Chains A and B, each alone.
Chain A
Amino acid sequence: MRVGIIGIGMTAFRPSTPEYNWKELMFEAASRAYADAAINPREDVDSFITCAEDYYEGFGIFDEFVPDQLGAALRPTCTVSGDGLQGLANAYMQIQTGLIDVAVVEAHSKASDVVTLDGIIEHALDPIWNKPLGAHPFVVAGLEADAYLRGTRTSPKALAAVVAKNRRNGLRNPLAAYGAAVDADQAMQSEERFAPIRALDISNPADGCVVLVLASDRAAKKLHADPVWIRGIGWASDSPSLETRDWTAATYARIAADMAYRLAKVRRPATDIDFAEVDDRFSYKELQHLESLGLAKKGEAGTRVLRGDYDADGRFPVNVSGGSLGCGNVFEATGLHRAGEVALQLRGDAGVRQLDGVRVGVAQSWRFVPSATGAVAVLGAGP
């Protein structure tokens, strides 16, 4: 059975949203998604999945507070404590069972509600083994960036090129919070934070909500929808231990991609896929992820970004949305945003940033520091 995306709803991503609470933000994204799919959630949706981590929300049992603003009161709902792409995988599987025809996936960030965001991220470190050291949690990204640059002989200039590209791409995305005409020199000269990571290599937090509506091919036909198909999806987690993980490659992303490619019958990802939206919450992550997804050879992503291959008008556009560097770090909504962006491109609805003639795109997520967890979705245009 094929499963497709028939509705896309996103709020704008913004550094803060003081006038709305997170429920009102979710209502906006859900309303947009249902209008896009031309469905009534009270009648047409069989299952609702939200993606959230209680520590980011600041209260327990987040899923209890979900139904009203999603149209899910007295309906089957559940929460995946993970990134939005992991929620997408769950919705995909629910539909594959044949029990569910139409499923909704939601993910959001209200990072501006968190006063001590660094403290919350720090709380994800192993409490006995790593946390007593008291290091800032982004040190983990610094360690990995250092290993990646050395292990692949990638120039720090490549990181600056990622920053400049994605911040500029953000200028062409009306939803992006941090679009800016930043050039590579500026990125290279920004303050050192977690060497080799500099201030501009780090995405800034943003608020926002993404809701996608999924349907089986039969339900999509009944609803007169023109779906973007989920051709393959996969997810994986590396060992949480900081001492045993690969550091140079994102092994979780490679395994997740293998799973998604197998389902999608993608044998040569570098030629079968037209463009990608990959996690770039630290600039090095974009390059590391591209290599782990088989979209660039090991050590080549850096030279290719410097050559302009990953520009919106390059040979293989990457993060045309602006990515997290341009749009903002929307935490658990990061992967779902990327899936939505790939779907918009495949539908031809990406506005001024629309790519020409794209048929297959990949969205990839990572669950942020200190995790080694990620998911990959391969999406394809109809019929």
Chain B
Amino acid sequence: MTARISRWPGIELRAADLLEGKITQTRFRPDAKYAWSAGEAMSRFLEELQNGRFIARTCHKCQRILFPPRMFCEECFRPTDEWTFIHDTGTIETFSVSYLDTDAKRITEPILVGVVSLDGASPKMGMMHYFGEMTKEEIRIGMRVKAEWKPPTERRGSVLDIRYFRPLREGER
């Protein structure tokens, strides 16, 4: 129906009308600030990122290596058992080529983003991150990748301590 109507009754609003205060409106910026405790498992995980390595937790009951680490196993509903390091290499599980940035602006060089299953963790355990040093034509599911870390002095205990995952080079592990 809307397709058949070329002109709607009334006066169309322009962005300028809002900016010039011609439109009745109420503005409020909530004072909403949070500082979440990362907790036992994530605190250790973030600390180890600064050391340039990934740490996981094991569950002795289901025999899984859980990453990201957690203090409880969601399958068995029991406390997890031990800390263990896993590798910073893995396999692309799924990816998307994003032509919009976080502001929904169209970009010419697309962002490659996806989920990596990490070596040493149980299947389907890994992390979502960016991909680099590869083109949208080259990226594929099953591709072997490795974390590209920021230099130690620039690491802050954040998932952004990894710049992106890049293709695993020959002879590298």
Contact = CB atoms under 8 A, between A and B. Distances in A.
Given A69-B72, A71-B77, A131-B28, A113 B37 contact: yes
Given A23-B39, A113-B35, A113-B37, A119 B30 contact: yes
B8 interface: no
Interface string B5-36: 00000000000000000000010101111111
Nearest to B31: A119
B164 to A, nearest CB: 25
Given A19-B40, A20-B40, A115 B72 contact: no
Contact of B28 (A20, A69, A110, A127): A127
B37 A21 contact: yes
Nearest to B35: A115
B128 to A, nearest CB: 15
B71 A24 contact: yes
Interface residues of A, number: 35
A115 B37 contact: no
Contact of B32 (A19, A42, A58, A71): A58
A112 B76 CA distance: 30
Secondary structure type dominating chain A contacts? helix
A227 interface: no
Interface string A67-111: 111010100000000000000000000000000000000000010
A352 to B, nearest CB: 30
B31 A118 contact: yes
A133 B26 CA distance: 12
A69 B41 CA distance: 13
A190 interface: no
Interface string B25-69: 010101111111111111000000000000000000000000000
A55 B74 contact: no
A18 B37 contact: yes
A39 B165 CA distance: 43
A19 B35 CA distance: 13
Nearest to A112: B37
Q: Which of B26, B30, B40, B41 has the most CB of A within 10 A?
A: B30
A123 interface: yes
Nearest to B41: A24
Contacts of B74: 67-69, 71, 73
A64 B72 CA distance: 17
14 contacts: A20-B39, A21-B39, A21-B40, A21-B42, A24-B40, A24-B41, A27-B71, A42-B76, A69-B74, A112-B37, A116-B33, A123-B30, A127-B26, A132-B26
